[in-house]
C-alpha cells in the first residue's frame, strides 16, 4: 500500500469485512487515522478546464495570458498560474547512448563533425 487512497480502502475493507473499529483497523495496518479521515478541500475545476479547452481550441495561437483575458471576459476569476501548462520533461536516454547523428542534406549545413553533443 503506497498511496493514501489505497490505505483508506484497506482500512474500510477491514472495518466492513471483519467488523472491527476504525481505530483497530488503523493500528493493525499501521496507518495513521488522520490520513484515513482526511478529506480534500481542493475545489473541482472541471468546468474551468472545459472552458480553457474551448478557448484554446478556438484560438490555437493564444498563450496562457490571452486565454486568461478571454476567460475573464466570460466571467471566470482565476489566477494566471493556474492556466499555465506544465512543461514536459526531456526524453530520457540510457547512460552511454548518444543522440542519433545529424545527416546534412545540403552543403554548409553542418561543420562540427568532431564534436559530441
pLDDT in tens, 55-86: 989 988 888 899 999 999 999 999 988 888 77
pLDDT exceeds 90 at position 10: yes
- Report whether 31 contacts 10 (CB < 8 A): yes
- Report whether 52 contacts 83 (CB < 8 A): yes
Distances (CA, A) of 36 to 13, 42, 64, 80: 12, 17, 37, 33
Over residues 11-28, mean pLDDT: 94
pLDDT exceeds 70 at position 115: no
Alpha helices, DSSP H, located in the chain:
4-18, 22-29, 33-37, 46-58, 64-73, 80-83
pLDDT of amino acid 117: 55
pTM for the full predicted model: 0.47
Cell of residue 82, nine digits: 493556474
pLDDT exceeds 90 at position 36: yes
**Domain residues of the chain, as ranges?**
4-37, 46-83
Amino acid at each position: 500500500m503506497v498511496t493514501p487512497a489505497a490505505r483508506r480502502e484497506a482500512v474500510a475493507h477491514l472495518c466492513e469485512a471483519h467488523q472491527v473499529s476504525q481505530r483497530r483497523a488503523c493500528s493493525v495496518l499501521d496507518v495513521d487515522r488522520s490520513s484515513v479521515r482526511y478529506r480534500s478541500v481542493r475545489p473541482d475545476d472541471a468546468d474551468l478546464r472545459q472552458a480553457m479547452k474551448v478557448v484554446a481550441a478556438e484560438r490555437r495561437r493564444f498563450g496562457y495570458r490571452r486565454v486568461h483575458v478571454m476567460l475573464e471576459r466570460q466571467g471566470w476569476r482565476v489566477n494566471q498560474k493556474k492556466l499555465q501548462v506544465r512543461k514536459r520533461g526531456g526524453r530520457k536516454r540510457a547512460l552511454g547512448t548518444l543522440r542519433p547523428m545529424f545527416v546534412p542534406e545540403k552543403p554548409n549545413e553542418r561543420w562540427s563533425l568532431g564534436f559530441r553533443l
